[in-house]
C-alpha cells in the first residue's frame, strides 16, 4: 500500500508535538504573573506566524482581541492615574468650594459669597472691604475681634445701601488691627467652586475653578467647604 501524500503546502511549517503550548505552566508570582503590553504583542506575533494559511484567523476574532487589550490597557492606565490617591482626592472636590491663594469673591446667583483668610496673630478688630471689578468699594464688613489662624466670612451680596448686586466675581481687602504693637499679617484666600479636574497633566493634577479664575494645582487647596 502506498502512503497518501500530505496535502499541506510546502511552505507550511509543522511544529514538533508538544512545543505549541506548555502542558504545565510554571507558577509565577509578582509582576511576572501579569501580562503587559509587550507580552501581548509577543503572543499576537507568534499567533500570526503559526496560523494556518489555508484557514487564517477570523478578522472579527482578531479585532475582538485587539479591542479587549485596548480596553484593558485603558483601564490599567486609569487605575494607575487614580491609584496614586491624588486623582481620587481631586475628583472628590468637583462641585465643592475650596480656599486657594487669592482675594476673589465669587458671588453666585443665590446672592451670597464666602471668603477666608489666615491671621498671623490675634486681631482686636477685622474689617473687610468688598470691591467691584473697577476697584470701587461697594460695601464693608466689620468682623470684630478674631483669633489667630484660619478664619472665614460671608458676604450677602449687597451694597452698602442694601441693594442686591449682580452675580459675578468681586474682590476684597482686609484690614486687621492689633490691641498693641504691629498689626497681624493677613493672608487672603479665595473661596471658589471646583468645576472639573485635569489628571496627568504636565503640571500634575490641577483643578479648574469657577468665577473665571485660573486653574490651580491640587496642592494649592488650603480648605474645603
- For the stretch 35-76, pLDDT in tens is 566 776 677 677 666 666 555 555 556 556 555 555 545 445
CA separation (Å) from 22 to 17, 19, 218? 11, 7, 50
Report how far residue 97's alpha carbon sits from residue 102's, in angstroms, rounded to the nearest whole number: 14
Structural domains present in the chain: 90-224 (2.60.40.4070)
Determine the pLDDT at residue 35. 59
115 near 222, Cβ under 8 Å? Answer: no
Rounded average pLDDT over 73-91: 57
The answer on pLDDT for 22 being more than 70 is no
Determine the pLDDT at residue 66. 57
Determine the pLDDT at residue 165. 96
Determine the pLDDT at residue 24. 47
16 vs 87: which has the higher pLDDT: 87
Strands (E) across 22-155 are located at: 97-101, 104-107, 113-119, 123-131, 137-146, 149-155
Cross-strand partners of 118: 150, 187
Determine the pLDDT at residue 190. 97
As to burial, measured by CB atoms within 10 angstroms (0-12 exposed, 13-18 middle, 19+ buried), residue 45 is exposed
CA separation (Å) from 164 to 138, 155, 156, 167, 186? 11, 11, 8, 9, 28
108 near 168, Cβ under 8 Å? Answer: no
Determine the pLDDT at residue 116. 97
Rounded average pLDDT over 133-147: 96
| 65-71, Cβ contacts within 8 angstroms, sequence gap of 24 or more | 69/37, 69/40
Beta-carbon contacts of 146 under 8 Å, excluding residues fewer than 6 positions away, are: 119, 122, 123, 126, 176
User: CA angle at residue 188 from 135 to 155, to 5 degrees?
Assistant: 65
Classify 109 as helix, strand or coil. coil
- Predicted model pTM: 0.61
Amino acid at each position: 500500500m502506498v502512503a497518501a501524500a500530505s496535502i499541506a503546502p510546502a511552505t507550511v511549517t509543522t511544529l514538533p508535538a508538544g512545543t505549541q503550548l506548555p502542558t504545565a505552566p510554571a507558577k509565577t508570582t509578582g509582576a511576572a504573573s501579569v501580562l503587559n503590553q509587550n507580552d501581548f504583542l509577543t503572543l499576537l506575533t507568534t499567533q500570526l506566524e503559526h496560523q494556518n494559511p489555508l484557514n487564517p484567523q477570523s478578522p472579527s476574532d482578531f479585532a475582538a482581541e485587539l479591542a479587549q487589550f485596548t480596553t484593558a490597557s485603558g483601564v490599567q492606565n486609569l487605575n494607575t492615574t487614580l491609584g496614586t490617591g491624588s486623582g481620587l482626592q481631586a475628583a472628590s472636590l468637583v462641585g465643592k468650594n475650596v480656599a486657594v491663594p487669592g482675594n476673589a469673591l465669587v458671588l453666585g446667583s443665590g446672592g451670597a459669597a464666602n471668603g477666608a483668610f489666615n491671621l498671623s496673630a490675634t486681631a482686636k478688630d477685622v474689617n473687610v472691604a468688598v470691591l467691584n471689578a473697577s476697584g470701587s468699594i461697594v460695601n464693608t464688613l466689620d468682623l470684630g475681634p478674631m483669633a489667630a489662624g484660619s478664619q472665614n466670612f460671608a458676604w450677602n451680596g449687597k451694597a452698602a445701601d442694601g441693594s442686591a448686586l449682580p452675580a459675578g466675581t468681586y474682590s476684597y481687602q482686609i484690614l486687621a488691627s492689633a490691641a498693641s504693637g504691629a498689626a497681624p499679617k493677613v493672608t487672603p484666600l479665595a473661596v471658589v467652586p471646583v468645576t472639573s479636574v485635569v489628571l496627568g497633566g504636565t503640571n500634575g493634577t490641577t483643578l479648574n475653578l469657577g468665577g473665571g479664575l485660573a486653574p490651580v494645582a491640587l496642592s494649592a487647596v488650603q480648605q474645603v467647604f
